[in-house]
A and B are shown apart, each in its own frame.
Chain A
């Protein structure tokens, strides 16, 4: 009883937060703005708060921070397997920061560059500055003790030493996504179906993107590509990766997932088109999924998907205005139904 009550409370809370998504009218206003100051001024009247800066990098950082904060907050409402899944999903922001710290350490990035790339997180045990300034990977791994990142980093460290950040990033990505896949697979019924639709599609396309990109990277053998990708990925697992290393095209693999990609497009563009098609499909599924029964995972995941799409569209708008992109080209790049409704 308490479980169902809490589930309903999550749903009610999430639906209330849904009201803070930017509506087509707000998007219309934002898309009319020609410069960053105007965009920032309009965003200050929204959920993104009154403290937004006027510069592109600062704005994007604050938007990412808002997305991370919302994901972390929504995860705290849930419990049990659902909570475990949302926690695992929310860890992607920490993972992104960890990879930034890793690169900052390997390539000695200036502190300003590093700090700008870090997503401010409301709660984390990790100290990004200390990590990026760790004198050795041994010290780096030591700071991760007790976190889910310690084991993959330690495994790579023992086997490959400090040669490059690539194997560390691969190990961290794999550990993250494998955990997420396991969490999704543990969910049954409607929760499981919702998670497969919204997160499973994302994971499948992510895995295919890795496979295509690894295939093009010189020096990676088919065996390495298979080992550096997910074997279970909701329609794009081991068999798909094997087909990719044996020469399958993006269009062929996209059609297996139900997406259409121009078969004559260059591979880079085809992969980007596949990712975009999947994101649009997720956003549309999230809109319809949002208004469902109060006893499943659909609403929280749909809210997080729509918020993510919103933030990505805002980043597109910011980048587009910074680069003087014309309106038609900018509108063509928008993903979310609400943003496109504002064009």
Chain B
């Protein structure tokens, strides 16, 4: 739970005759994150690129046919084995037959749509000209004016008008449809070139005056209207025909599309596998727990022995993907982490500690049985209505607030219960000290997780000399513990300073030391010393401010009780219930929000900053589903 799923780096050497069946098993299992292999000896085979492209083209055609008749693709993979090399011809033949039926319908529907559009365009043009008693054909031969009709993207209409600021012009929009506007534009004949060029640069598509229209526009309109009625009747008939076609083809076309999509995904995967001669190399990452099952399935699918090499990733290996598997109850808390980043493979997955520390910090700041339960109830309502994972997190935070309410003995701000620990307003100093102590625990947890990560990665220099490593931890303990003892007068200051000297010197000289230890190119010593000094200074300040930052846990608890008590004090008299209602809503809503923000800040700045990089690569396995999205675990 604290670490990403363990993976094995797998290399499969597969004979060409088995590559399809083996790859299919791998894609169906959705358990292998492919890895690019760079090698001069192994190169992808060109033939598979062509197969993949062909399968992809066919899958797109099948998808287009589905779309044309209003069917949706099937989500489940095809049950029968998929063999792109041997079955694409048959599948294409089947698709071509189907397309003949859908295509014939589509062609008629498209013809009818264009005719309807053309008639509608003609009608609009004629409507514009309707007031004129001039024959349409006469407009085409104006002597002193230049007149054009056509369409342009609607958003470009004001652009054209704005661009023609140097000539006199007329631009009349007639109507808009599908994002384009029909316009009539006119200028003096001398400015025709400017008008035309401006229109063209606004992606104007000219629509010449209706060539078939003769006589006055009013007479021509009657003929056009008759044509429109006929085209609309044909469109209705075509829609009925489409529904019948969908019913007839559903059983064949939907599985065909799924099969072609799977073939395309399979061929696309194989074309990436490098090969030499008859042998293919399938390389990638497989979860440890899926490895044996996948290996068994691969061997069963191959007709010849498959050479299978697998090993856990070397410690210094980069680019290993991360697969997180959290139990269902922890999953909502993953959002606390993933908004920050995804753990690298070698990193600790901080979801569990983040969930625990977030809930404890939230509860400590928002401790009240009544307010906590109200928040939990509202959050559960939100989860029920929207399914948002944040609702579950807030519900848990509300429960934590209620539990701390038991420790503080408060219900809706009133001290109705015996305090199991303390009442915040009575023992402010104790609470603030407890808050700092909680911060020290959280920071030490951060240190511990950083040490565990560095140890796991065998990053000795980071483990020892990092400011969140052993030396940093030592410095922190001496600074904090020694400082506290010196303030209390239990230890002389010089002893504390002497104890600080060694870790401080190591932190100061960290870069020059690492340059020498790791045999790196050495930076000028003077620069390193100056930079190191300021970094040491910043580190010391940082440790102090990081710890004191947790004072807010206690401060908010005190503020919460104070605010709640004030609401209770004024909740008397005839409108007392209203004061209580509004006050409670404000406290649960606004203060609950502010407390959440503070808890998140502490998580991200003080806790995560110690150990978490969050620059992992998500594990995305090969899938037979092709174009349909493979659900990532993240």
Contact = CB atoms under 8 A, between A and B. Distances in A.
Contacts of A10: 339
Contacts of B162: 226, 231, 238
Greatest chain A CB density within 10 A among B194, B202, B520 is at B202
B175 interface: no
B578 interface: no
A32 B523 CA distance: 9
A19 B609 contact: yes
A2 interface: yes
Given A1-B593, A12-B605, A231-B162, A223 B339 contact: no
B160 A242 contact: no
B384 interface: no
Given A9-B339, A29-B523, A159 B200 contact: yes
Nearest to A37: B521
Contacts of A160: 200, 203
A32 B527 CA distance: 11
Interface string B366-406: 00000000000000001000001010000000000000000
Interface string A1-45: 110111011101101100100000100110010000010010000
A5 B597 contact: yes
Contacts of A2: 382, 388, 390
Given A41-B521, A49-B615, A16 B609 contact: yes
A26 to B, nearest CB: 9
A43 to B, nearest CB: 14
Nearest to A3: B593
B428 to A, nearest CB: 26
Contacts of A15: 604-605
A148 interface: no
A13 B340 contact: yes
Contact of A226 (B163, B319, B534, B615): B163
Contact of B203 (A25, A51, A155, A222): A155
B201 A171 contact: no
Interface string A220-256: 0111101110010000001000100000000000000
Given A221-B194, A221-B197, A242-B165, A77 B600 contact: no
Contacts of A29: 523, 527
B531 interface: yes
A49 B617 CA distance: 12
Contacts of B535: 25
Contacts of A224: 163, 197-198, 201
Given A2-B382, A227-B201, A231-B158, A51 B534 contact: no
B280 interface: no
Interface string A196-237: 000000000000000000000000011110111001000000
A177 B604 CA distance: 34
Contacts of B160: 227
A109 interface: no
B204 interface: yes
Interface string B151-177: 001011011101111100000000000
Contact of B534 (A8, A25, A38, A238): A25
- A contact face: mostly helix, strand, loop, or mixed: helix
A25 B531 contact: yes
A158 B173 CA distance: 20
What's the dominant secondary structure at chain B's contact region? helix
B592 interface: yes
Contacts of B201: 223-224, 227-228
Contact of B318 (A51, A171, A242): A51
A8 B197 CA distance: 51
Interface in A153-185: 155-156, 158-160, 171, 178
B600 A223 contact: no
Interface residues of B, number: 50
B211 interface: no
Nearest to B202: A227
B608 interface: yes
Interface in B172-198: 179, 194, 197-198
Contacts, number: 110
Contacts of B194: 221, 223
B311 to A, nearest CB: 20
Contacts of A228: 201
Interface in B216-261: none
A292 interface: no
Nearest to B200: A159
Given A25-B534, A32-B523, A221-B194, A159 B597 contact: no
B597 A155 contact: no
B153 A155 contact: yes
Among B156, B162, B164, B194: residue with most chain A CB under 10 A: B162
B205 interface: yes
Name the residue among A25, A156, A238 with the largest chain B CB count within 10 angstroms: A25
B589 A1 contact: yes
Contacts of B153: 155
Q: Pick the most buried of B201, B603, B609: most chain A CB atoms within 10 A of its CB.
A: B201
A231 B339 contact: no
Nearest to B612: A16
Contacts of A156: 203
Nearest to A175: B155
Given A221-B198, A226-B159, A231-B159, A13 B319 contact: no
Given A77-B339, A294-B597, A16 B197 contact: no
Interface in B339-355: 339-340
Given A8-B600, A222-B166, A242-B165, A227 B159 contact: yes
Interface string B512-524: 0000000011011
A160 B153 CA distance: 14
B214 interface: no
A8 to B, nearest CB: 4
Contacts of B198: 221, 223-224, 226-227
Contacts of A4: 593, 597
A50 B166 contact: no
Given A1-B592, A151-B179, A13 B205 contact: no
Given A13-B340, A77-B339, A159-B203, A178 B604 contact: no
A182 B563 CA distance: 43
Contacts of B179: 151
Interface in A292-341: 294
Contacts of B165: 226, 242
A223 B205 contact: no
Contacts of A223: 163-164, 166, 194, 197-198, 201
Contacts of B534: 25
B593 A16 contact: no
Contacts of A28: 527, 531
A3 B197 CA distance: 49
A235 to B, nearest CB: 17
Contacts of B388: 2
19 contacts: A1-B589, A4-B593, A5-B390, A5-B593, A15-B605, A16-B604, A32-B523, A50-B318, A158-B203, A159-B204, A171-B203, A221-B194, A222-B163, A223-B194, A224-B163, A224-B201, A226-B198, A227-B159, A227-B160
Interface of B: 153, 155-156, 158-160, 162-166, 179, 194, 197-198, 200-205, 318-319, 339-340, 382, 388, 390, 520-521, 523-524, 527, 531, 534-535, 589-590, 592-593, 596-597, 600-601, 603-605, 608-609, 615
- Per CB-CB distance, the 7 closest pairs between chain A and chain B, nearest first, are A223-B198, A226-B163, A8-B597, A227-B201, A224-B201, A223-B163, A12-B604
